[in-house]
Chains A and B, each alone.
Chain A
Amino acid sequence: DIQMTQSPSSLSASVGDRVTITCRASQIINIYLNWYQQRPGKAPKLLIYAASSLQSGVPSRFSGSGSGTDFTLTISSLQPEDFATYYCQQSYTTGYTFGQGTKLEIK
């Protein structure tokens, strides 16, 4: 199975900050990498698919990059509603493995 490792596991930041979350796959997955946001008590929401494509309706402050094994999610200017847990997911093979999550908290 492909293992997905996110860093950091948690992050404190302030409104207006630029933050970056990284995700590393245990083997090459090309660009088959998705990012999700999950707010407490809510369903996960697709933000980015195919490593860098912004899902319809998602604000442009979210962006994704990377290919192969190393990927990043960047939020250019944090808004109050962005404090949540973020997950990467590989869709290169069935198993559709998620990373362990990055909890973004208010500083």
Chain B
Amino acid sequence: EVQLVESGGGLVQPGGSLRLSCAASGFTFSSYGMNWVRLAPGKGLEWVSYISSSSSTIYYADSVRGRFTISRDNAKNSLYLQMNSLRDEDTALYYCARTFIAVAENFDYWGQGTLVTVSS
């Protein structure tokens, strides 16, 4: 059974940093691209970042580029998101999601999310 379990969320002050983790199991993690997607209070889903299976390709949303860094450790079956210079508008539930390619990409498995609150 595919499982994605996020951790690392919490309360942080504006300008602060946080590192999220996503532990994967039940599939060959090193064969799949992975994403971070967030859901802010009262808003819709927003894709944040993508990393390919070998880490050779990385993309970011404009809203986080230069502040967030995605990475992965295939030996540990883990995905990470280093978040720096956090802003109030980064407050959200952060999900990791697996990319599956069928005709084009889709996000076929999601974790339950970890909550990040940016507030003074």
Q: Which residues of A contact B (CB under 8 A)?
A: 1, 31-32, 34, 36, 38, 42-46, 49-50, 53, 55, 87, 89, 91-92, 94-101
Main secondary structure of the interface of A (DSSP, over half): loop
Cα A101 to Cα B40 with chains together (Å): 13
Q: List, in ascending order, chain B residues with CB within 8 A of A49's CB.
A: 100, 102-104, 106, 108
Contact of A50 among B59, B104, B107 (CB under 8 A): B104
Distance in angstroms from B79 CB to nearest chain A CB is: 15
Chain B positions within 8 Å of A46 at CB level: 106-108
* B104 contacts A43, C-beta separation under 8 Å: no
B14 located at the interface, meaning its Cβ lies under 8 Å from any Cβ of chain A in the complex: no
Interface residues of B (CB under 8 A from A): 35, 37, 44-47, 50, 59, 61-62, 95, 97, 100, 102-108, 110-113
Which residues of B sit under 8 angstroms from A1, Cβ to Cβ?
62
Contacts of A36 in B (CB 8 A): 45, 107
Q: Which residues of B contact A55 (CB under 8 A)?
A: 108
Is B102 in contact with A53, judged by CB distance below 8 angstroms?
A: yes
Instruction: Name B's interface SS.
Output: strand
In the bound assembly, the distance between CA atoms of A89 and B107 in angstroms comes to 10
Question: Is there an interface contact between B106 and A44, defined as CB atoms closer than 8 Å?
Answer: no
**Residue of B with least CB distance to A32:** B104
Q: Which residues of A contact B61 (CB under 8 A)?
A: 95
Name the residue of chain A whose CB is nearest to the CB of B107.
Answer: A46
Set B45, B62, B102, B105: member contacting A44, Cβ < 8 A:
B45
Tell me how far the C-beta of A85 lies from the nearest C-beta in chain B, rounded to whole angstroms: 8
